Amino acid sequence: MRTAHPDRLAVILGTNEVASAIAVLLRRGGLGVVLSHDPLPPVIRRKMAFHDALFDDAVSVAGVVAHRADTGLAIRANLCRVPGVIVTELGLLDLIVLRGLDILVDARMQKYLATPDLRRLARLTIGLGPGFCSGVNCDVAIETRPDKAGQIIQHGATEPPDGISRRLGDHWGERFVRSEFSGRWKTAIEIGTRVFKDFIVGHLGPTPIRAPFDGILRGCVRDGTEVPAGVKLLEVDSRGRKADWTGIDSRGQLIANAVGEAISLHEASQRKMPDKRFTSSSDSKHELSAGYSEHPMIELLAERDTINFGDIPEEIDALLQQGVAAYRHDHAQADRLFRQALAAAPAQLPIYFCLYKIHTYQGQLDQARIVAERGLKEAARQAGWDLDWQRWRPQPAVPDGAGRFALYTLKALAFIHLRRDDGDQANTMLAALRRLDPTGAVGWPVVAALAEGIR
């Protein structure tokens, strides 16, 4: 069954219960939602989360179902074919090429790890919990501490972690059992099972891990997971009939509601202060030649009637339009059409753009790099620049035409190298772009933020 393609896309980093509560709220609001799994910290409240969909389990939270997707192509297809949310192990570098992100929420709550700078990676970026500061590494920060959960921080930082767990029944932090060392966690006990003090819930390596007191197993790391030292392995709820281990809990709902409010406040501010960066165009033609997108991979393949590739020969334009249309259902045919155009007119720069975009999108990074490097040299030749980008000199102003395409393609190559885990080359290219384009006119700060976030 094909459903309506969502107009807006939200990516949520994390598959825990808070990330899942946010996903439910946003999906009910009509957004396409993708949750990106991160192994740290391990998810324990799995019956309140979409996490187990990663293992093809049938998962539903508050009536919203989850579907696993392993590739960008599968995500793109599922956004308009299936209801519910999408769960993936793909990281942000893989997801950002799908299309421009409307909302990015970091719900991993990695309290003691370095916090990435999310700004400019989406139209609105939201950071949850310790380490986030509005206007510094996200647009809006939201508190997650039990006594302040759901407070929106428009200016300044969230509270640092204090190591204090909220009270649940008669217990505080002692309801959790943490790993004393790293190892493989093994358990056959299901969440929701009644356990008793010293009952063996599982084993970390050869060491038995016991329940701290009588109660219901509220959370437990999935069997077979490799865990580091110092993380929560399980949680026991001593409240008897009042125990809960499914659905959305009160803290998750508070934080999800705060995310919804932050989005509403942002949209209201944009209505008061229009900004073309946050406005979807209703024009059926997408202008490619006017300067290229600030996003590392603009949405070339959206459902539009035609794409304006600028002043190029009519027969080449026809091949490119056919290639764009073919890509939606036949990637190999799109590649053949674009390469046919390249063979006929190797001086037409939009052809290189089409080719390196589709190969980057498919994860064919070596092919994308080869085409982008060819396009870079052709653009440099047309601009009258050295064919070696490392010898380029800053211009009085960011150029138009071939010069701008050259800078844009250098940015694309930095992104490609970043995805190939070649951070050194990516950062070398970004350093050149800082010198050549100090105002960030071709959008390299977005890639730089990504590079900084994965260090």
Average pLDDT over residues 177-200: 96
Cα 134 vs. chain centroid, distance in angstroms? Answer: 19
Helix locations, 328-422, DSSP H? 331-344, 349-361, 365-383, 401-419
User: The whole model's pTM is what?
Assistant: 0.70
Of residues 77 and 220, the one with the higher pLDDT is 220
What would the pLDDT profile of 387-402 be if each residue is shown by its tens digit? 999 999 998 888 888 9
Segment among 112-126, 220-234, 246-260 with least mean pLDDT: 112-126
Q: Which residue has the higher pLDDT, 286 or 64?
A: 64
Q: 2-21: per-residue pLDDT in tens? A: 455 577 899 999 999 999 99
Lowest-pLDDT range, 156-160, 161-165, 408-412?
161-165
Predicted confidence (pLDDT) per residue in 240-294, tens digit: 889 999 999 989 999 999 999 999 888 877 765 544 333 333 333 333 433 344 3
